[in-house]
Structure 1
Amino acid sequence: MNEILVILIRGAGVGSLYALIAMSLNLAYNATGVLNFAQGHLLVTAGVCTYLWMPDGAGTASPMWYLTLVAVLVATAVVGMIQGLITLIPMRRDGGSHSWVATTIAGSIVLGALITLWIGPQVVNVPNYFGFVPLPDGRVPGVYPMLVVLALVVWAGLRWYQSSFLSGLALNALSQDVDAARAAGVPALKFQMLAFGLAAAITAGAGFIGSSAIEISGSRGTNYVIFGFIVAVIGGIGNNKGALIAGPLFGVLMMYVSFELGGGLQVVTALAVIVAVLLLRPQGIFGRPHARRV
């Protein structure tokens, strides 16, 4: 019984981390048509900043914890906007080609190399700031339930923002039709940069809150964005509600495979899941098929 609870709690937490990455991918994709494969290394960047900037002994009761949170969010958002600008400029020249694939992957590689130069090749560890959840025969770090809460808060916050603020409505307009939004006077590039910044901030929040639950090193970002992308595909690209549901389910599956069969089979299982989804329901389990103009 205790093992099942551990699998459920840890799996839902890790899956919520993937859901947050998926929501950040969706946010940028809806506004720009770009899947930003650098999001995984933005997550690691936030973890590195947390490791380096958090004062020793600071906890959730300390003002420095919250100041560090704001600093990490702002710094990562700025990096995300710069990377987004580098990605979008070639697209504007090429008439919307798929140059973003190369630029976002290149951005991921560059960020990974900079992180390695910054902290070295080792994996760094951040303390658990959220205590532990008691179980009948043990305990689980409280960071995992906090990640579930964070995913719910981000999902609700995005819904509220995109329905209640002019900038959020502008992002919605871009997701419907970029050319029509431009014709209506929406400064597309400005709001697309905002989308990249917000997406990076979401990833930064996940990296800050979940820093004790992830491996922080320059080589790990690719793994996180792959799992986040798989969750986005399962939930339906662009569908945040789908990502919110698919993330914990996928995380529990991965945790079960790790417990029962070993961590080496996680990647194989993840690939099997995405292949099955693409074969049986290409729009994602929670997505809707789109009409195609001919």
Structure 2
Amino acid sequence: MLSEVFIIVVRGIAIGSIFALIAMSFNVTFGATRILNFAQGNLLIMGGFFAFFLANGVGLGWWVLMLLVAGGLIALFSAFQGWITLIPLRSSVEQDSWIISTVAVSVILGALMLITQGPFAYSVQGVVPPFRILGVRTPGAYALAIGALIFWYIALRLFMTRTFVGLAISALSQDFDAARAAGLPVRRLQLVSFAISGLLVGTAGFLVAPVISISPDAALRYVLNGFVAVVVGGLGSNLGTLIGGPLVGVVMMLTAYQIGGAYQDMASLLILVTILMIRPQGLFGRTSARQV
């Protein structure tokens, strides 16, 4: 019994790491633009499709090369999407048109994948061999998911605190008007943040392709749980995503084990409602004054 629960928790942490990566990509764009890109789930699935078509069953060297290619292409697409999204906001950052723009991109990407690939779920052979936990075979992609989460947390922290562009984006997230008054290239920095978020979620989708459902209709589930993870951890807190994502994943896996897989998403939404009622700013989020 205890061994089964332990294995479920480990797998929940791995699945939750995927949600945390999406949550982290939310934070990247939100910090610089105050925009939540709801197309992130589709970009994750797009990374999975890249893995299926370009790196299915290949050697490690080619796999790494295709990982970089896929991440770069999705980063460019994300930057282009950011440019489109930011066009209506040139006059003011208080508009809410980004909701329509990002949801529209999500719908369009989902429709294109459905038209070109059909309503099928594709599978990818993992480059990392499976390993055993207490005698139970576990996909190697789970280890990649956890490793990618740790890597991106450290990389983003170093980027935001040790590079000029990262410090500029951090300044933008602290005070938009002051950053603009100081002469920072605001729109350019915002596009960079979109590109970084695309690189993050695109490479994540490529890495975890063997353990996710690579199908057009799967994007909604991942972006929903990624949103729950970012709310639980605290919007804008990458440290919070390290806790929020795995927490959501573990609860969902335990729910599937005790009640049934059909109730996983319900458990995720219950977590969201509970956090919003008890601590709306999230576990590691900070309250902020509202301008009126």
Tell me the TM-score range normalised by the shorter chain: over 0.9
The reply to whether residue 49 of structure 1 matches residue 50 of structure 2 is yes
Which whole-Å CA distance do the structure 1 matches of 2:34 and 2:290 have between them?
A: 16
The alignment's TM-score, normalised by the length of structure 1, stands at 0.96
- Letter of the structure 2 residue corresponding to residue 288 of structure 1: R
How high is the TM-score relative to the length of structure 2?
0.96
CA deviation digits over 1:58-103, x for unaligned, max 9? 133xx21111011100111111111111111112245531000100
Query: How far off its partner does 1:136 sit?
Result: 2.8
1:240-259 per-position Cα deviation (integer Å, ceiling 9, x unaligned): 00011111121111111112
What is aligned with 2:71?
Answer: 73
Moved more, 256-265 or 97-106: 256-265
Gaps in structure 1 of 5+ consecutive residues: none
Q: In structure 2, what is the equivalent of residue 2 of structure 1?
A: 3
8 Å contact kept, 2:57–2:127: no
* Residues 48 and 209 in structure 2, CA contact (< 8 A), matched pair in contact too: yes
- Is the counterpart of residue 271 in structure 1 residue 272 in structure 2? no
SS of corresponding position for 1:288: coil
CA distance in 2, matches of 1:286, 1:133: 33
Q: Which amino acid aligns with 2:89?
A: M
Cα distance in 2, alignment partners of residues 27 and 75 from structure 1: 18
Provide the secondary structure at the position in 2 that maps to 1:81: helix
SS at match of 1:219: helix
- What amino acid does structure 2 have at the position aligned with 1:128? G
Runs of 5+ unmatched residues, structure 2: none
Alpha carbons 2:141, 2:210 under 8 Å: kept = yes
Q: Provide closer, same or farther for how the CA distance between residues 59 and 252 of structure 1 changes in structure 2, counting only shifts above 3 A.
A: farther
Partner of 2:243: 245
Q: What does 1:21-170 correspond to in 2, within 5 Å?
A: 21-54=22-55, 57-60=57-60, 63-93=61-91, 96-170=94-168
CA contact (8 A) 2:24 2:238 kept: yes
In the alignment, which residue of structure 1 is the partner of 2:194?
196
Paired AA for residue 216 in structure 1: I
CA contact (8 A) 2:225 2:248 kept: no
Query: Given residue 260 of structure 1, which amino acid in structure 2 is its aligned partner?
Result: Q
Residue identity in the other structure for 1:102: I
Distance 1:95 1:209 in 2: 34
Residue pair 1:31, 1:171 contacting (<8 A) in 2 also: yes
Q: Kindly indicate whether the alpha-carbon contact (under 8 Å) linking 1:9 and 1:145 is maintained by their aligned counterparts in 2.
A: no
Deviations 1:18-52 (A, max 9, x none): 00000000000000000000000010111111111
Aligned equivalent of 1:213: 211
1:96-131 alpha-carbon deviations (Å, 9 max, x no partner)? 310001000001001111111221211111112211
For 1:130, what is the secondary structure of its paired residue?
coil
Q: How far is the alpha carbon of 1:293 from its aligned partner? A: 4.2
Work out the CA distance in 1 between the residues paired with 2:91 and 2:116. Answer: 34
Contact 2:57–2:125 (CA<8 Å) still a contact in 1?
A: no
Aligned match of 1:261: 259
1:267, CA displacement in angstroms? 1.5
- What is the aligned-residue RMSD (CA, Å)? 1.3
Query: Which AA in structure 1 matches 2:222?
Result: Y
Of stretches 126-135 and 169-178 in structure 1, the one that deviates more from structure 2 is: 126-135
Alpha-carbon separation, structure 2, partners of 1:97 and 1:204: 28
